[in-house]
Each structure stands twice: as structure tokens, then as C-alpha cells.
Chains A and B, each alone.
Chain A
Amino acid sequence: MQRSQLLAFVGRRLAGLALLLCIISFGVFSLVHLVPGSAEQVLISGRRPPSPERVEAIRERYRLDESFWSQYTHWVRRAAVGDFGLSIRTGEPVARALRERAAPTLFLGVYAWILVVSVGIPLGVLAAVKKRTAIDRAAVAMSVAGVSAPAFVTGIFLLYIFAVVLGWFPAFGQGSGFAGRLQHLTLPALALALTGIAPVLRFTRTGMLETLEQDYIVFARARGLSRARVLFGYGLRNALIPVITAGGLLLGILLTGAVLVEVTFSIPGLGNLLIEAVNFHDIPVVQGVAMMTATLVIMVNLATDVLYMFIDPRIRFGQVAA
């Protein structure tokens, strides 16, 4: 009963997400025709005028002779299996570039995410428990600074202090092997995390403050429950519900942040790829990156909703509209 309900829920959401992806893909595909210049010019570019054979190949590949709708379905069918065509700049398949560039970005993102969660949530709890004290104010002030300073600014600061002055970490590159990556990506992850910590800290603090005022907290204390049990079992668990909602938001912040941070630290990731592609009007690559990011965001949002169900029994049992 319960499992089937969960499956039905996930099924419904997946159907909705598929529709959403279709709409996004339509927009992404339209880029080719929206960018100034004819489709052939957009898809070939380069300074030299293209040879007629080249133009013909492109027309063939993108079915430019057929209707817009047929071009679109053709493109989607290939995109669905990860084929976004060839990069205009390098002539390589876009899929290969995506694969290569995704690895450091993924590493950076997960690393930053771990930092955000492991710093933001405890600090938020601490700020709430020590409400109106110096600790609370310092934590909030730090989060304001974190959110108002763009990642490339904090990144440059970190670079200067830890890489140039102290020399603890390398200043650029992605390193090789897990240890090398860890070492190379610590500063970028930190710079990236600083922007993400702010919202998580704030959400946790507000949620925790609200929760700590609830009757069930007073009732738990009145029964003599240990401080840890009250704070984490009763307080944090309830306070985290809004924080999880912020998960989707956090992903957005990390994604935009990643572009800036990768450029600052010269990491050959997706962010750098995107910038290069945009600069070169490398539309197939832009399309690939856009579709990949959209899929990622949508999947994370679905995961958030499912996680929600596991944490809050009221949603699981259909008491509150999901």
C-alpha cells in the first residue's frame, strides 16, 4: 500500500518532469534559430567562409531542409541518448566534452555541498541555540558577508592567502587522483561553499528558532529528555524540513557559483566549458550544457520531494498536500 503510493507519487512526478524537460528542450533547441544569423552560419561559424560541402553536411545533419518541427524531433531523439552533435570550436562530439568536463565540476560540487551542509547546518543550530549572543551575531554576519561577496571575490582572497602567502594549496588546476583532486579543489570548493552556506545557515537558524518555541519542545524538556535528544531528535528533525526545501535553491546557487569559481581557479570544468562555448557561439555545446544542467536540477528537485516524504510522515500519509 505504502510502497505503491510512493511509486505512484514518483511516477506522477516523473511524468510531470518529462513534460517540463520537453518544454525546456524546445527552448534550448530554438537557440539555433534565435541567435542572429542563419542556422548554417550559427552551426558552422569560423572566420573563413565555409565550403559548400561543409554547408551541405550541416544541412543534412540538422535536417535544415525539413520543417522546424521535424528538426526539433530529430534533435530531441539524438539529445535523449546524449548526442548533441559536434562542437563547432573543436569538431569533437559534444558528449565527449561534457563527459570530460563534468568530472571536476561534479567533484567540486559535491565537495562544496558537503562543506555547506557540514558547516551551515551546525552553525545554524548553534546560532539558534545561542540566540542574541555574540556567536549568533557572528554567524549571521558571516553569512551575510558570504552571500554578498561573489564567489570570484572570495575565491581571489582565498587564493591570495592560502595559495600565494601561505602556499598550503595549489593555485590552479584540478590535480590527478583522488588526493590530488582533493588538494587542488579545496580552495575552489571553499569559495563556492561560502556562498551556499549563507542560505542554509539562515534557513536552519530560522527553522530551529521556530521549532524550539513549539509546545512539543517544552513537553520534551518537561519529561526530562536529554539536551541532545531535545535539540536533535525533536528540534533539528522538524527544523530541517524547510531546509530541505532550500536544497533546490542551493543547487542553483552552487551551479552559478561553479562557473565563476572554475574561471577564477582555472579548472577545466563545465563552467569553463560553458564560458568558452558562449564566447565562441558554440551552440551545440551550449545546448548540451543547458540540457544537462536542466536535467540535474529537475532530478535534484525530485529527490528533495522524495526525501521530504521520508522525513515527514504527514506527507507520506497524504495529510498535507505534497
Chain B
Amino acid sequence: MTRTSKVGGRDEEVARGAGPALLDVRGLRITSRIGGRRRVIVSGMDLALSPGETVGIVGESGSGKSMTARAILGLLPPGLFAQGTVHYEGRNLLELPERALARMRGADIGLILQDPYTMLNPLLRCGRHIEDTLRQRDKSWRGRRAHRDEALRRLEEVGISDPSVADRYPFQLSGGMRQRVGIAAALARDPKILVADEPTTALDVTTQKESLALLKSLQSTRAMGLILITHDLRIAFSMCDRVYVLYAGSLLEVGTAEAVEAEPLHPYTLGLLLSEPPATRRVSRLVAIDGTVSAADDVADRCAFAPRCKWKQEPCERGKPPLADLEGARQSACVRIDEIRGEIGELRRAAERPAEPVGVLAPARPLARVENVRKVFEGRAGRAGIDGVQALAGVSLEIGEGESVALVGESGSGKTTLGRCLVGLETPTSGGITIDGVTASDYGALSVQERRRLRRTVQMIFQDPYTSLNPAHSIGFTLREALRVGPEGTHDLDGSASELLERVGLPAAYLARKPVALSGGERQRVAIARALAVRPQLMVCDEPVSALDVSVQAQILNLFKRLRGELGVAYLFISHDLAVVRQVVDRVYVLHRGEVVESGPVDEILDDPHHPYTARLVASVPRSDRDWLSGQP
């Protein structure tokens, strides 16, 4: 591997910061060796962090961002190996023995993981996690009591003033609270650097904003170096001084947050920015990046983005392009950046074009009506102290023919429960559901014909395309099975199946494949095709894009918009993501603790929310500007 990173540029960059680099990563290369086969995971990462600085590593899944974080702390999983240098206080961490590294972890460099639900030991009380970290600092003279007092103080620092939290087990706390406990435990020995690996991805939007604001304030009061790893460019821009854009194991662009946001200097960064659905307006079509993320190993010897880049030319595939210095301490790994810079700028400006008006809301014939639906999940029988949980507290809504309606809310709002009631996966405790003239409150009480008619009228798309397709069956089998119960009968199933695939933008050759050979976006397309097989009038889509990468999410959102135009199908879009909702629906119902708190046309609700909860949701949508985190939650 010939990798020529421009050292001159690096020094300049560091000089611009608050002094010499606290952490200096150069030529970090991570490879896996499993069964004698070597694969590249990260093919050359450079990163510098000054004291008190926040840098962001932005990348989609498979970019190698998490492995970079773990390599810095010497915590790579077995079978993965790092080469290059990671300098901290004059020592190359990659050469340190495990014993010395262990002494450094937590004391010099801390780490927070993505999932607060799995980060804490389920068998230990929350306070013990912090005390465990503290005990590593001074085992000798401090007693348990002192550690405990200190743990309570640390919890207060992360905004938990209730001392009883220290005595609770992780499973008794919400995700946001667990994340706070995790942050307190990670910072208990006051490390100089904190690596935060997608710290808020698993949290609700409002909690995400609070957690990020907390991290930011802890970072600035301690003048701690923060490496924030995220897939969300908006979050990186609002939190970080500088950003590193990573794609399929290669570093593609480096620059200050302001500069990169103002003018991306790599086609991939541009693509990411354009794929991001704007929360403030609707665009007629999102500019998606074609194709799917390549495996790092497949593109280790060329520009990692070349397979998906519309400006690709022969030099892009001749070798791995090095990061080249540009003005203003910026770096880009695009070999053609000088030629295409103008075009990138134009595309960026074109995407800023004014909003597309939301379709006129002619009162359509109602297709589905939900009236005062309540759903109580019974507590387990015979167990004292656990009452039923009320998921829906009397919800009413209406979906017109061909209309696209969103059900918006955070986890626990009851939005998924309502969606499942509509397709008969749950039966409401009380209240009425009518779909296309059929009473659908209790699928079990329907006649066979009525139930069959309902199943043809309503279909569901699930959140996780990795579990919603049967891995044992080929795509063709799955589609033919769905077609057989459809209105078209059983003639020429293969032809109909290929048509379905074509409709969702997949080649007919996929009929023979198994789900395992498909990417997440492709699987979701198949799931949509399967739902379309019975020619439904209403599709209940439960967070259909939240498990997908941003660049793929845009493709699927465009598909949803196109299908509605072509088939006139109505959507009930269940989502926590207001930016996504903005792009695909006409009307919004905001659900909070099982009640609709606000509803109306999407523009009115999102531009001028009346209910405080809606306002909080709107304010929680990540924005690129620095004021996002300082604003009121």
C-alpha cells in the first residue's frame, strides 16, 4: 500500500488548533484475518485531535468508523489487527502491551458505545459501574464509602440528581438515563479524550438532543478532546469543529464543519448532504446516491466511492487516491476535484430550490377510519404490582383513499400498536376500526371472505428488512406466495413476480436469490414488492427507512413517492423522523402517550406546532447549525 499523506498539511492543521495534537493517528489500517483470509476493514485513516477540540468521524454502516474508535483504545475484537501509528503523549498506542493500555483506558482515553441498552452490566447496580471505574484510580486509601459519594456526585454531573438511581439496575432505567449512567462511568476518571461511538443513535429524538447537549457541555467544561462518531452529518456539523468523512474504510474528506457544510469537496460528501431529507420543506425528489455501500475490501485499491460516483473516470480506479491538500486546511481524496468542483457547487445550489407544495387536500373518500381505539396490554397474571399498560388511550384518525398520512411519536407513544391493530396483528381493547366498509376492530370475528378481503386491502411494511423476509426462501418463492392470495389468481406467477420486482426497481434476476445475498435497501424493496402483490389500497409502513443508511433511505423514500403516484395507494407512515415524514405524507397525527395531541396538514403542523410536545419534537430534529443544541429542548 502506497499511502502518501501530506505531512505538511497536517502540521498546519494542528497548528491551527489549540496547540500540539493530543492524539495523532496516521495511516491506521485495520485488517481482519479469519480462516487465513485477510480483508481490509479500514485502509488508511489519519486523524488529529487537539485538547478541547471536537472532531467528528462521519460514515455509513461499513465505513469502519466504529473499528477506528476501538483501534484507538486497543479494543479491536479478536481476529482484527491494526497497523500504523496512534500517538498519545509521545507513545504509539498500537505498540503498547495490553497491561499499559489497560492503565491508560478510562484514565486518558474513554469510550462510550452506541447502545445504552447493552453497554451496562445487567447484573450490576448503576452506581457500581461508576464505583468500578473509580476503584481503578485509587485502590488504596479511599474506602467504599468515598467511592459511593463520588459516584453520586458524578451522577449529578450528568443530570441525575436522584441518588436512588445509583441503587437501581440498568433494566429499570430508560435508554436516555442508561446513556447518562454510561457517560458518568466513562468519565469517572476524567480522561483527556472521550471517544463517543454513535452515542445517541439508539435513543429517541428528544432524548438524543438532550444527550448531545450534555456531552457538549461536559466536553467544554473539562476542555476534553471529543471524537464523535456518527452517521448523521447534521449532528456532526452542529457538534464538531472538524469532520472526517469516512466511506467503506477510506477517508474521503477532511475539513472544518462550517467549510464542509458550505461546500463539500468530495462527490460522496455531496451525495450524503443531498440524500438527507430536509426537515423544513418537501422536495419533489430526493437526490439519492445510486447503488449500495461497497465492502471496504473490494475497493481497497481504488477510490472507495468510484463504483457509485457519476464523475468516475479511469484514474479513479487506477489506485487509491491520497488525501490532497486544498485551501483552508481542507483535504479531499477526489482526484478530479479541481475539474468537478463547479458542478458539485451547482448541484448543491440546485437542491436548495424552493419547496414543492404538498398536494391539495381534496376531501377524499375515507378508506380507513379509527374511532376512539384503546389498547391495554394486560400485566402478567398472578404477578403482584404489575398493572396493564395502556398503549392507546382512545385514538381516532382517518385515512382517505390514496392519501398519505403519518403517525408521529417517540417510542412508547403507541404508534406501532395502532399500526398493528389496523392490520389485525393486535386487537383493540375497545373502539372501532373500519377499513373499506369492513369492520376491522377484531379480525378474529370476521368471516373468512371478509378477512381475505381485508388482507388484500391492507398490507404492512416492517422496520427491519433483515428479519421480515424468511431467510430460507428465495425472493421468487416469497413473491409467488404473496401473489397466490392476490386478486390476479395463479396464472403466470413468475411473470407477475418479475413485474413486481421491476416496479420496486430490482432486476428480475433477483427472483432466484435468497435474502442473505441482498443489502438492507434491496431487502426493503422486496418487502415492498411483497406487500404490493395483493394490490393493496393501504400500506401501513412502520418505520420503513429507519434501519437503512442515509444514502439508501433516500432511494426508498423516492420509491414510496413514485409508487403512490403510479398506483394511488394510501400510506399510513409510522415514524419518529419528522424530516422523513415531511417528504412523503400529506397529513400528520402526533401521538404522545397513546393520545393524539395534534393533527393536521404536514406543513402546518411542522412549521407552526401548537402543542408543546409537537414543538419539542420539531426542535429535536437535528440541524447543522451550532444553535441547534443551545436552543431550548
A-side residues, CB < 8 A to B, are 1, 4-5, 8, 12, 131, 213-216, 218-227, 229, 233-234, 237-238, 311-314, 317-319, 321
Contact = CB atoms under 8 A, between A and B. Distances in A.
B191 to A, nearest CB: 9
Nearest to B137: A224
Given A234-B121, A314-B122, A317-B172, A5 B102 contact: no
B70 interface: yes
Given A216-B121, A218-B113, A238-B122, A226 B136 contact: yes
B155 interface: no
Contact of B380 (A213, A218, A313, A321): A321
B380 to A, nearest CB: 7
B123 A224 contact: no
B597 interface: no
Interface in B164-184: 169, 171-172, 182
B121 A223 contact: no
Contacts of A131: 78
Interface string B372-386: 000000001011111
Secondary structure call for the B interface: loop
B457 to A, nearest CB: 36
A313 B120 contact: no
A223 B106 contact: yes
B111 A222 contact: yes
A221 B106 CA distance: 8
A107 B132 CA distance: 40
Most buried by B among A218, A226, A317: A218
Contact of A314 (B107, B133, B171, B382): B171
Contacts of B136: 223-226
Interface residues of B, number: 40
B118 interface: yes
Interface in B84-135: 102-107, 110-113, 115, 118-124, 132-133
A314 B119 contact: no
B75 A221 contact: yes
A234 B119 CA distance: 11
A5 B385 CA distance: 10
Contacts of B540: none
7 contacts: A12-B382, A219-B112, A222-B105, A223-B133, A224-B104, A311-B123, A314-B171
Closest 9 CB pairs of A and B: A224-B106, A222-B111, A223-B106, A215-B118, A224-B105, A223-B133, A313-B169, A216-B121, A219-B119
Interface in B47-75: 70, 73, 75
Contacts of B102: 221, 224, 226-227
B106 A319 contact: no
Nearest to A217: B121
Nearest to B106: A224
A52 to B, nearest CB: 56
A318 B118 contact: no
B113 to A, nearest CB: 5
B189 interface: yes
Contacts of B75: 218, 221-222
A214 to B, nearest CB: 6
Given A221-B102, A312-B123, A313-B171, 15 more contacts: A8-B384, A215-B118, A216-B120, A218-B113, A219-B119, A219-B182, A219-B186, A222-B75, A223-B136, A224-B102, A237-B123, A311-B123, A312-B122, A314-B122, A318-B380
Interface of B: 70, 73, 75, 77-78, 102-107, 110-113, 115, 118-124, 132-133, 136, 169, 171-172, 182, 185-186, 188-189, 380, 382-386
Given A224-B136, A225-B133, A229-B132, A219 B123 contact: no
Given A5-B384, A313-B123, A223 B118 contact: no
Contacts of A321: 380
Contacts of A1: 385
Given A227-B102, A314-B171, A317-B172, A222 B110 contact: yes
A227 B382 CA distance: 43
Contacts of B78: 131
Contacts of A224: 102-107, 133, 136, 189
Contact of A216 (B119, B171, B380): B119
Contacts of A214: 118
A249 B73 CA distance: 41
Contacts of B105: 221-224
A160 B384 CA distance: 59
B107 A219 contact: no
Contacts of A229: 132
Which one of A213, A222, A234, A317 has the greatest number of beta carbons of chain B within 10 Å?
Answer: A222
A8 B73 CA distance: 48
B131 to A, nearest CB: 11
Contact of A238 (B111, B123, B169, B171): B123
B386 A238 contact: no
A316 to B, nearest CB: 9
A62 B167 CA distance: 60
Nearest to B125: A313
B170 to A, nearest CB: 9
B46 to A, nearest CB: 23
A222 B114 CA distance: 13
A220 B188 CA distance: 12
Given A131-B78, A234-B121, A317 B133 contact: no
A12 B383 CA distance: 11
A207 to B, nearest CB: 13
B113 A219 contact: yes
A232 to B, nearest CB: 12
B105 to A, nearest CB: 4
Contacts of A318: 380, 383, 385-386
B264 to A, nearest CB: 33
